[in-house]
Amino acid sequence: MTDIANTQVSPAAWLRPLNSISFFIRKTLNIAEMEMRKLRHEPLDLLTRAAQPVLWILIFGQVLAGARAIPTGEFGYIEFMSPGILAQSMLFISIFYGISIIWERDLGIIHKFLAGPAPRASLVLGKGLSAGVRGISQTFIIYPLAYFMGVKLDFNILALLGTLLTVLLGAVLFSTFSLLVAIKVKTRERFMGIGQFMTMPLFFASNAIYPIEMMPGWLQAISRFNPLTYVVDALRTFMLAGGESHFGLGTDFAVLILVSALFVWWAGRAYPSFVN
Amino acid sequence: MNVIETHQLTRQFGDFTAVNGVSLSLQEGEIFGLLGPNGAGKTTMIKMLTTLLPPSGGSATVAGYDIVTQSPQVRRSTGYVPQLLSADGNMTGYENLLIFAKIFDLPANVREERIQRLLEMMGLQDAAGRMVKTYSGGMIRKLEIAQSVIHRPRVLFLDEPTVGLDPIARTSVWEHIRRLRDEFNTTILLTTHYMDEADDLCQRIAIMHQGQLAAIGSPAELKASVNGGGANLNDVFGHYAGAALEAPGSYIETSRTRINAGRVG
């Protein structure tokens, strides 16, 4: 057999800072690519996810809109809740994402990646990005639905990109949080219990389906520590024609980026303990 | 220079010492077998050498790099096939190889050639486009081995490579392990429960017992050392790891091994 030249880069090369950042990004994208390939083989996964937000908007939304019980200012209730339901849909997809790595660990797939050269945090962030793509798929369900329900959407290209970026960031944040929980609890049974326990407080202690001003004081305080609140705030700004940010987009993105970075770092550090 | 060198390598889990002061050295191009009953410390040894688990004491170098202070370099120069299933059933065989080629940073112009050559070498060309969940146990093992050598590692770790395979698939996997050594001079460290596997494949074997090396040598040397020379490897194993049958086992581990055997078999 002919010999192929040994093309390995010398190990010292990628230890230099600039190279190692580019290495980190490349490995993150490799992992994300793998997840996308898997998703492409199972596209139905995404469709089944669409049922829940559709029901929330069609049933819950219409009933509450008719009741006029919630003061949503200049917006109708369906308008007010549509960004909240997109955020909720992204949250549900992301918060249960950790179950997939428990499954992969039980099989043994994780071991091989941990013994490879990709930095642990890139394994985490790559998975987070793929959760982001899954979350983004929901915008393609919710935008048309909201449009037909008469919501005045902002179709400015920058606003649309802002929506996608917000969903992506939110999904990275909550999916890496989910990975961290999975790494800590290790079994599917415990994870499912905790997952159920996490989603409801995160959802209800946020501005997703009612304004913060309506909440009792203690819940208002909690909701300000809830990253979902900032996801919804940014989405309301980008999605709705005439939408205005409550906290300021700068604050929203700063919170989402910093908290995501913290979870990626933390989960990357805890990753090796997952297989021992 | 030795490709793997361990010096008093030790790992404790709480009060339990899984690996207790093991000193070993492997030469380039050697196929080395690590034998021992369940719980003897084989998998813990491999996990330390692949940098998945930090040692509690002692030191080791793999491909010239220290497993603690130079773990990224170690991970770059080694391949690892865990005992559990490690190919992804939700991708095709080709995609499984492609992703690993990318993870190991192979340049685009080399990737395709390597993948095709490994598919051919492992006899998987025809199945390359199929989802791995439709593969047989032997095909999955061969794909996993192909994945772990795509970057031409100097050292390959195989943790019970033929567990749960039928006899025909086993001999086929052995043949491919030998080809890797012959063509690329890859140093291979494998663990196994099967005496015939060790006898057939390995130049040297070490028998571990309760975390320590009980015996080390070529299969012929070990056979000569027991019962005045007339022993087979089963006798050797019994002699050096004799108390194993009565040793407290692990219920969970047994369950896992059987589930895994069922899955690949």
Name which of B18, B57, B36 is nearest B207 in CA terms.
B36
Q: A108 and B76: CB-CB below 8 Å?
A: no
Separation CA B224–CA B163 (nearest Å): 28
Is B109 a member of any domain?
no
pTM: 0.86
Residues of B in contact with A36 (CB under 8 A): none
Residue A7 has pLDDT above 70, yes or no: no
Please classify residue A164 by burial: count the beta carbons closer than 10 Å to its beta carbon, then call 0-12 exposed, 13-18 middle and 19+ buried. middle
What are the structure tokens assigned to A24, written together?
């980190």
CA distance A258 to chain B (A): 27
Domain that holds residue A243: 17-275
pLDDT attached to residue A11 = 52
Is A8 a member of any domain?
no
Is B188 a member of any domain?
yes
- Whether the CB-CB separation of A49 and A89 falls below 8 Å is answered with yes
Is B141 a member of any domain?
no
Q: Regarding predicted confidence, which is higher, B246 or B161? A: B161
Q: Which pLDDT tens digit goes with each residue over A16-51?
A: 788 889 999 999 999 999 999 999 998 887 888 888
Is A160 a member of any domain?
yes
Average pLDDT rounded to a whole number, residues A110-135:
93
Residues of B in contact with A276 (CB under 8 A): 47, 52-53
Q: Which pLDDT tens digit goes with each residue over A140-182?
A: 999 999 999 989 999 999 999 999 999 999 999 999 999 999 9
Domain count, chain A: 1
Task: Determine the length of chain B.
Answer: 265
Domain count, chain B: 1
- Average pLDDT, whole number, for chain B? 88
User: H helices within chain A, ranges in order?
Assistant: 17-41, 44-49, 51-55, 62-67, 77-95, 98-107, 109-114, 120-148, 157-185, 188-204, 217-224, 227-239, 249-270
**What is the side-by-side strand order in the sheet with B204-209?**
B78-81, B155-159, B187-192, B31-35, B204-209, B212-217
Task: Determine the length of chain A.
Answer: 276
Q: Is the ipTM of this complex over 0.90?
A: no
Task: Let me know the angle formed at the C-alpha of A152 by A147 and A155, rounded to the nearest 5 degrees.
Answer: 80
Partners of B80 in beta bridges: B157
Separation CA A157–CA B30 (nearest Å): 61
Q: A276 and B107: CB-CB below 8 Å?
A: no
CB nearest to B107's CB, from A7, A33, A108: A7
What are the structure tokens assigned to A151, written together?
């919501």
- Whether the CB-CB separation of A102 and A191 falls below 8 Å is answered with yes
Q: Which pLDDT tens digit goes with each residue over B88-103?
A: 999 999 999 999 999 9
Q: B72 and A117: CB-CB below 8 Å?
A: yes
Q: Which pLDDT tens digit goes with each residue over B208-224?
A: 988 999 889 998 888 88
Separation CA A230–CA A234 (nearest Å): 6
Domain that holds residue B54: 4-84+159-264
Which residue in A has a C-alpha nearest to residue B107's C-alpha? A7
CA distance B241 to chain A (A): 25
B257: confidence class by pLDDT, cuts 50, 70, 90: low
- Whether the CB-CB separation of B135 and B96 falls below 8 Å is answered with no
Is B127 a member of any domain?
no
Q: Regarding predicted confidence, which is higher, B172 or A182? A: A182
pLDDT attached to residue B262 = 59
Is B154 a member of any domain?
no
CB nearest to A30's CB, from B80, B85, B99: B99
Q: Which pLDDT tens digit goes with each residue over A234-257?
A: 999 999 998 889 999 999 999 999
Give B152's DSSP letter.
Answer: -
pLDDT attached to residue B97 = 97
- Distance from the Cα of residue A142 to its chain's centroid: 16
Q: A115 and B78: CB-CB below 8 Å?
A: yes
Is A96 a member of any domain?
yes
The β-bridge relationship of strands B212-217 and B57-62 is unpaired
Q: B91 and A23: CB-CB below 8 Å?
A: no
Residue B265 has pLDDT above 60, yes or no: no
What are the structure tokens assigned to A42, written together?
């199972």
Separation CA A109–CA B140 (nearest Å): 12
Task: Let me know the angle formed at the C-alpha of A255 by A249 and A260, rounded to the nearest 5 degrees.
Answer: 125
Determine the angle formed by the axes of helices B137-148 and B93-103, rounding to 10 degrees: 20
The domain spanning residue B202 has which CATH number? 3.40.50.300
Separation CA A87–CA B259 (nearest Å): 39
Is B177 a member of any domain?
yes
The β-bridge relationship of strands B65-66 and B204-209 is unpaired
Separation CA B151–CA B196 (nearest Å): 30
pLDDT attached to residue B258 = 67
